[in-house]
Amino acid sequence: MTQLQQKKSKNTGKNKHSVNVFKKGVVKPSDSKKTVKVTKKGVKKTLNKNASKKKLLKMKDDDKDSKKKKMKLSIRFKKPKTLKLARNPKCPRIVKSCHSKALDKYGLIKYPLTSEKAMKKIEEINTLVFICDKRANKKNIKKSVKNLFGIECDKVNVLNTLNGDKKAYVRLSGEHDALEVANKIGIL
């Protein structure tokens, strides 16, 4: 017998610790309680025989390329939408009660204007001029004029002045005369 044949005959006999080695997959050593796994890179992982089948299956799946690259079809890159929680401050920064005072009929109209231009409007166009709150709008002004003075008005024009005031030109209906209303209010 040649030396090669002798070596082959020696290796064929099974020892206690001989292992059947494959390129990949789970390998069971003869006579031991452990399961040996040879990965792609040649690293051996050992598991107890009592390990669940799920772990073994998972280890088999590790060999496959589980991370498949997605095809990128769009030009732009968008960040994924993350969870945005609503603000929950320990103490409020602005106290609402101080800043938001409700407008009532007395706070809405501050005072009537008595300039020469305003007097001319009263005489010629049947219009009263008032200085109002900044936050007032045409509907609110119309209501408050009706409640305070008991007059019906046709329309209201509003002008924001440079000093930060709001000027309201209140056009009275044909039933009321602006001169009489002005005397009644105390403008003239």
Q: Quick one: tokens of 16?
A: 């206690």
**Residue 153 within any structural domain of the chain:** yes
% of the chain residues with pLDDT over 70: 61
% of the chain residues with pLDDT over 90: 44
Interval 101-160: pLDDT, tens? 678 888 899 999 999 999 999 999 999 999 999 999 999 999 999 999 999 999 999 999
On whether the pTM is more than 0.85, the answer is no
**Residue 134 within any structural domain of the chain:** yes
Total domains, the chain: 2
Other CB atoms within 10 Å distance of the CB of residue 92: 7
Supply the CATH number for residue 156's domain: 3.30.70.330
Do 111 and 54 fall into the same domain? no
**Residue 121 within any structural domain of the chain:** yes
**Residue 167 within any structural domain of the chain:** yes
**Residue 128 within any structural domain of the chain:** yes
Do 57 and 110 fall into the same domain? no
pLDDT at 131 (0 to 100): 97
Full domain range(s) for residue 47? 3-62
**Residue 130 within any structural domain of the chain:** yes
pLDDT at 105 (0 to 100): 85
Query: What is the per-residue burial (b if ≥16 Cβ within 10 Å, else e) of 39-55?
Result: eeeeeeeeeeeeeeeee
Q: Quick one: tokens of 47?
A: 């598991």
Interval 30-40: pLDDT, tens? 544 555 555 55
**Residue 87 within any structural domain of the chain:** no
Query: What is the per-residue burial (b if ≥16 Cβ within 10 Å, else e) of 166-175?
Result: bebbbebeee
Question: What value does the mean pLDDT take over residues 9-24?
Answer: 50
pLDDT at 44 (0 to 100): 55
Q: Which residue has the tokens 């056009």?
A: 171
**Residue 55 within any structural domain of the chain:** yes
- Whether the per-residue pLDDT at 18 is higher than 60: the answer is no
Do 113 and 52 fall into the same domain? no
Do 57 and 111 fall into the same domain? no
- Whether the per-residue pLDDT at 84 is higher than 70: the answer is yes
Interval 143-182: pLDDT, tens? 999 999 999 999 999 999 999 999 999 999 989 999 999 9
